Chain A
């Protein structure tokens, strides 16, 4: 299959099957990019940070980025088009009958499953990203003795506290984590 058709189809599937938008798409994206070798988990995490720091919807940003990385400008256009097309068509089709659609048992039943599965799916992504952040060198004794591990742990704990209890803006979290990384890097505490 041509790479352009593949990009279009993969992102079409994501556009058609992810509910809730944004981070709810990450598990799907992760599986897709790993399966095709388009990105590693680490590159995906880095891109989440880039996307949070630039305007626009996360899903659009990542489809454009992967499309461009894999297939240049035409790849970027086709991935983004693939992502946008399913919601575009579906919304136009149901806009007029939305009241009925919303109250139907079928929609309500399916939404019960979809809203629940997304929680489990993102939790699974948290686990794979957590392994990447703390144990990229494997789970062994040396990991727990390295400064890298504790610097990551400290940034993670502080960021989580500030996000959940102080409702800090995600961009500030990213900028703050970057500054701490740079300080510990140039003072020779961590090795990257």
Chain B
């Protein structure tokens, strides 16, 4: 029991450290997890780490939360999952809560207004890069292309509800996969 508590505490501290040093979140976290959890602690091996990435991608929610919960659970059960997830969330929570208290006042400063004018154009480029990298990871077949185009058009031009779009995409993807399987064809 005491052993387990100690392990959970270690998980909490390690994931808190990961939460502090990761900028950009998600995938940026994976190499740091590898360094801390696989190389230093030896808690999971490199194969497990690949599994962590795969499971985080196939389950909903932020990559950081999914991977912390999964690794914590593998190492020390539900207590470990809780410790790791709490650890990874805590630093961002504290930092952003403090920022939220003064961001609006800060944004009134002329120098910050100029800075954000420039930044917004930079953020647009960051978003386009996200589209490019998501596209690289997406399946490349006719069904996938139709879903991409339809999701874009319905949301951009008809302000469709995002939940409905996401659920429909999952259903269409599933239906297409089942039909292709039945016909013995590859999509």
Contacts and interface: CB of A to CB of B under 8 A. Distances in A.
Interface residue SS majority, chain B:
helix
Contact of A83 (B61, B99, B155, B177): B61
Contacts of B27: 22
Q: Determine which residue in A52, A59, A73, A114 has the highest number of CB atoms from chain B within 10 A of its CB, and name it.
A: A114
Nearest to A125: B127
B57 A19 contact: yes
A119 B135 contact: yes
A178 interface: yes
Interface string A44-64: 011011111111111111001
A22 B62 contact: yes
B23 A54 contact: yes
Contact of B63 (A57, A107, A151): A57
Interface residues of B, number: 103
Nearest to A123: B152
Interface of A: 13, 15-28, 31, 42, 45-46, 48-61, 64-65, 68-69, 73, 76, 80, 83-84, 86-88, 90-92, 94-95, 98, 101-102, 105-130, 132-133, 148, 151-153, 155-156, 159-160, 163-164, 170-171, 173-174, 176-182, 184-186, 190, 192
Interface of B: 19-27, 29, 51, 54-66, 69-70, 73-74, 78, 81-82, 85, 88-89, 91-93, 95-97, 99-101, 103, 107, 110-111, 113-132, 134-135, 137-139, 143-145, 147-153, 155-156, 161-163, 165-178, 181, 187
